[in-house]
Amino acid sequence: MHKGLGAFAMRVALSLIAGVACTGRAQSLTGTAAAMRWVDQGKQNFQAYPLTAAAAVLESCVQDPQSGFDCAYHAARAYLYLSYVLDLAGHRDQARAFLGPGIRWAKEAVVKQPGSARAHGLLANLYGREILLGHAFTALRYGPMAADETDKAVALAPKDPEVLDTEAFRCLYAPALFGGNALKAQAYLEQSLQIKDSDFTRYFLALALQKRGLKDQARAQLLKAKVMNPNNALVNVELVKMR
């Protein structure tokens, strides 16, 4: 599935980037709530369809001036996870193209609810993905912004597991100049897991361990993540790489 998204899914993905796909400006509360669930479903398996469907609904919702925090926040999440889906499928440029609208709506979420640590963390994670998928100079642009949003999230909720994950992502992907440090990433992820176990967090812990050359420990974390969620494509792809 992830070697190619399929013609239909790719057409939908590209149309979303162009701003073509929509379901009409007026969305029922039921439809928006369903779209938010689809985002969670998409994070579970990193399949294209629930995320593209969610993005289409939420993209229409956030363009309504009366829309609230949830539409912007979950639209940004959908685009973040779609960047993973496209990257897994080998479409790096398209994966990065999803980050633009994701950043736009994460910023909107921060404006609507500046006290939300998770909104600041989400924006930091989107900046981090820009660094990961970009070129050599991307870190110079996005590194300071990612660090700033991470610091804001930490100031608001230092013990929130998602905020701890965000701290870890910065340490994992940032150049050393902007705080990159695999050992620190490992520490944040282990602290996060003590609060809330998550296959997503264990996946990133495995990456941190791999960066430190601890391949057996990394594989053990991936296997634990697979037991928790056999459908997590990030975990399954990484396990194949480690054979």
pLDDT 10s digits, 179-188: 789 999 999 9
Identify whether 174 is part of a domain.
Answer: no
CA 42, distance to chain mean position in Å, is: 11
Q: Given this model, what pLDDT does residue 53 score?
A: 93
Identify whether 206 is part of a domain.
Answer: no
Instruction: State the angle between helix axes of 161-173 and 182-195 in degrees (0 to 180), rounded to the nearest 10.
Output: 160
> Given pLDDT bands bounded at 50, 70 and 90, which one contains residue 13?
low
Identify whether 24 is part of a domain.
Answer: yes
Identify whether 210 is part of a domain.
Answer: no
User: What's the total number of domains in the chain?
Assistant: 1
Distance CA 158, CA 167 (A): 10
Which helix (H) or strand (E) segment holds residue 235: the answer is helix 233-241
Identify whether 17 is part of a domain.
Answer: yes
- Within 10 A of 175 (CB to CB), how many other CB atoms are there? 12
Identify whether 175 is part of a domain.
Answer: no
Which tens digit of pLDDT belongs to each residue from 181-236? 999 999 999 999 999 999 999 999 999 999 999 999 999 999 999 999 999 999 99
Identify whether 168 is part of a domain.
Answer: no
Identify whether 173 is part of a domain.
Answer: no
The alpha-helical segments, DSSP class H, found in 89-181 are 92-97, 99-112, 117-133, 138-156, 161-173
| Domain, as residue range, for 83 | 1-113
**Is the pLDDT at 16 greater than 80, yes or no?**
no
The structure's pTM equals 0.86
